[in-house]
């Protein structure tokens, strides 16, 4: 009798049906939209394309930042400015990380390196102009300084990578 009571007490604490265990989806970068994250995943084996995508996302964030400065939102203006700058830096950093990874894997990433070199120069001009004469600088100065530093680092890394990457193949005439 005691065994039956013990069994009933114990079984009441064990759930009748255990929920299935599901693997968590891969974490998404918080500064990418779902569509952008899908584009990055779709370009999984093409480092040059992924670098191009990250740089285009960075450009998009920079344009949105400039738009927000010219047309301030009525609420969360400061948060919007700072989050756009952080997202910009995240995209540039991810592109720079892909270049380093491509160098380690000895992938053909010349196009990505060239694109990084040229685009970061363009981005730096815009960021330095904002630093010199941007409106409401006190709202986003720290993040702007980080964006400038991150862009300069990415540009320097791209220049170093140009020297490390294997030269393009030369076709020989037979």
Residues with Cβ within 8 Å of residue 61, at least 6 apart in sequence: 31, 84, 85, 87, 88, 91
Predicted TM-score (pTM) of this structure: 0.78
In the predicted structure, residue 90 carries a pLDDT above the cut 50: yes
Segment 25-49, tens digit of pLDDT: 444 557 888 999 999 998 878 899 9
Q: How high is the pLDDT of residue 24?
A: 43
DSSP per position, the chain:
-HHHHHHHHHHHHS-SSPPPP-PPPPPPPTTS-HHHHHHHHHTTT-HHHHHHHHHHHHHHHHHHHHHHHHS--SSSHHHHHHHHHHHHHHHHHHHHHHHHHHHHHT---HHHHHHHHHHHHHHHHHHHHHHHH-TTHHHHHHHHHHHHHHHHHHHHHHHHHHHHSPPPP-PPP-
Q: What percent of the chain has pLDDT over 70?
A: 80
């Amino acid at each position: 009798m005691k065994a039956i009571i013990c069994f009933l007490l114990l079984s009441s604490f064990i759930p009748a049906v255990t929920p299935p265990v599901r693997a968590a989806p891969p974490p998404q970068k918080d500064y990418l939209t779902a569509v952008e994250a899908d584009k990055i995943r779709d370009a999984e084996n093409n480092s040059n394309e992924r670098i191009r995508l990250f740089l285009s996302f960075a450009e998009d964030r920079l344009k949105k930042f400039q738009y927000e400065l010219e047309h301030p939102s009525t609420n969360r203006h400061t948060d919007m400015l700072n989050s756009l700058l952080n997202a910009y830096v995240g995209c540039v950093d991810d592109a720079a990380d892909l270049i380093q990874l491509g160098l380690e894997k000895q992938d053909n990433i010349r196009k990505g390196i060239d694109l990084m070199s040229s685009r970061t120069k363009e981005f730096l001009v815009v960021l330095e102009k904002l630093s010199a004469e941007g409106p409401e600088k006190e709202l986003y100065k720290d993040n702007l300084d980080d964006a400038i530093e991150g862009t300069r680092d990415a540009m320097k890394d791209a220049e170093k990578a140009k020297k490390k990457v294997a030269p393009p193949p030369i076709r020989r005439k037979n």
